[in-house]
Chains A and B, each alone.
Chain A
Amino acid sequence: MRVVVAMSGGVDSSVVAGLMHEAGHEVIGLTMKLRDGTAAEAAGASGSCCSADDTQDARTVCDALGVPHYVVDYRDAFRKAVIEPFARAYLQGETPNPCVLCNDHLKFSALIGRARALGADALATGHYARVQRDAVGRYTLHTASDPTRDQSYFLFGLDQRALSRVMFPLGDMPKTEVRAHARRMGLEVAEKPDSEDICFVPDGDYARIVEDVLQARGESAPGPGQIVDTHGQVLGEHAGVHHYTVGQRRGLGVARGERLYVLQVDAPTATVTVGGRAELASQGFMARDASWVDGDAPTAGTRCVVRIRSRHRGVSCLVSADGRTLRVLFDAPEEAVTRGQAAVFYVGDRVLGGAWIDRALSEREAAQ
């Protein structure tokens, strides 16, 4: 069948293209152009846009396979659906997850549309996750068989429609095997390093991205504010709430007898509350905009495992849904519940769905 492969120019998606090609499918490579290139490229000519490197890597792989490759310009959509919400979230004291937004709004909506426009039956990506069908024909989403590579957390927003059109050929493969395939197929990208960070924050400097976005909109960055402890005592000053995330302990610039962590970031009052590790724990949280892989919320009081950030190990909890709002109670107190992060729910290796963390529950609320 005709399959579009979403190609970043990295080793994973390149191997997907190679495997699909070997399996006899008619492969079309598509690379999303998500942002402007470097300053050097921008200076090249009027209308210059092209970070040619990764795109060229993808094209080189497609050329070697003898399959067509196209670039889709999603710069506007990426800015509106991912980068600006990312910056806004920091302004509101949240710690956002842009990869989920990109998956929901671009990769598994717009790009699936483009794949269909090109007559493709499926969109294959290099994600480490698995799609299966249950006895009644519903699609189910599962963790990758290599838990160290699992990316199912970022895919909780996929609904039945999206899952019916995607393929994750690497879901059953350890990374070492992917590299081995790349070498066996002679792909130029076989030894290319993995990208670990958020693609538009390659140096990890989130605050600067927030400031850049604000500047582009003619707004100023959040001003300084106070760092306080849970009793309201002022311990110092900070340079803007967008520099802080719950659970952070580096770069606080304040000291007390014990090691201090960010407990809360309150944007309206520009206050960062810090405290000891014991104070970092909470009993549960409220979450909004829940979505479920099979379309239905789990029945009230469903016990499952929740991961509250991408590298979280997952802890047992009870979920109750009220429309798209969730109340989640941990079986045991858990540290660093962070506003703006995705909470993703699992039963065994199956993804039920997920939601966006709104706030931690106080002990009193949790007891109700």
Chain B
Amino acid sequence: MKCGDKNSIHIAARMMIGTVKALGAGRFCILVPIPGHEGRANYTRELCEEIGLLTGIRTADVLRGKHHLPLYQAKRNDMKAEGIRIDFRLICPIPKGVTPIIVDNVLDTGHTAWAAIKALGDPDTRLAVLGNTRHYTLNKEVNFAQMNIENMKNQKFNPEEVKQVKTAQSKSRTASGKKTATQNKSTAKASAKRKAKNDSLAAQYAELKEKHPDSILLFRQGDSYKAVNADASTVGNLLNLPVTRPEDKRGGDLLATFPCQALDTYLPKLVREGMRVAIVEEAGKQLKSSDEGHKKGTEENTEDKGKKESRAPQLVTLNGQKVTHAHAFQSTKNPGTWYFTARLDGRQLHPIMMKPADAKAYQNRDYTIDRFMRTYYPTKMEKKVTPEQYKADMILSDGRHIEKMNVFKERNENREDFGKYKLFAKIAGQENGMAVVMKTEDLNAFFDRVTTPAKLVEKNFGERLNLASAYEKYKLPEGIPIDDIRITKDKDGEWKISAKIGDTGRTEKVPLNKSDRYSFFESHTVTREQLAAKYLSPDIQKTLSQKKEEQQAGLKI
């Protein structure tokens, strides 16, 4: 697993759901990701958050450590793992009554896990791992005898989920060997054209699966929908349908079928299981719901020719809602202005003004419904959080509890933000709450329930609350040497930050605000580099621009 590798992390998370639920049964738990060798959790944090989405258990990234040699490197160099000192510290105490579940991908020698357990200091700490080599049993320094460890070996899982899924890109690389990326694309296209001439279900499946590896493909044939091969196995398991082996291999190796009228029942079930579903019309017609481009307006395909039938959806969202009537229209008052709109489960969505480039793409028929829906109605396309998950997610990443959160409209006419929707939050231990004007994206996310109270509070008040997560967005630009970052107290008693940028010398000293001072000196939830990125960006950008100009001047000479 790597940070950002969403596919692997999603698969790992699904494999660990049973483990985590078993450990947390009957308890109020939080997931604690194990820090990596850099001293902070990276992919383990993403893994925890993904598990959290599936189980409703919140993640608390409360462990920090010092940078150390990665244990896998130590092993490669024949160094003993116990020779690598691993110490973690707890940056925020776990509330009483909350059971921490440490999460890691592999339990090997146990050094890292033991350091995490010691730092948490809770005798009820549990450990959830994906794999367990059992080498820790030979480690005399750790005592896991009393520990609750659950791993995948104790859980049953579907081998289909374990199978490494190659992306379409990697598949084409494998197939074409040393060809360049451009050649790969044209090869894949040419190959797809040849396959398209073959109408067999197996051939269609192979062609479309390459383009949509993450989607369950349902093929409409006559009065039924069919899933093929791996999709048939998944659909059969989830919907309790029989899976057969067609005699004719052109129909695939495995097949699961259900009648058309059952789509309204089965489709939401698949979506609730976290599946992305694409419906493929009769052979020869275009994919109705996918990321594939619609070269002709889909309106034409679904146009009612005198018969009163419900329209087949152009797209089905992750929440099982059907998108129909998606189209753009020109303003009669300002012909240069275009609006996009659609119906969601028959309900009209309010039109949104389009960007000129998108309006042009629509007119050139070079667009996809999926792309426009994600651009103009992003929160309708995201997966909703269940009401249970929403109500449960009241704990911040540092373990603090949200006492109260609400959204309200400012009624005080004397205020500048009169009439605007604001987010109010009060955290346990705070005397007074905090309020901030909400951005439209946050208000929509709140209304459509694709976010949770903890996420909203972290996003809007993160720095004020000294949360590490709030500072993650601050990163120094690459390609320019920035060092000797100093945080010093000035003659006037103010703490200020400055840095040396390349050969240009030191920046001006910029004062730190109260929250950031606390984050740096007290809670240790921000690094010098992050503060430099936050405060010194104008100077850094200026230096970068100057450098570029100098380089260009040098080239001209």
Q: Do A and B come from one complex?
A: no
Q: Which A residues have a C-beta under 8 Å from some C-beta of B?
A: none
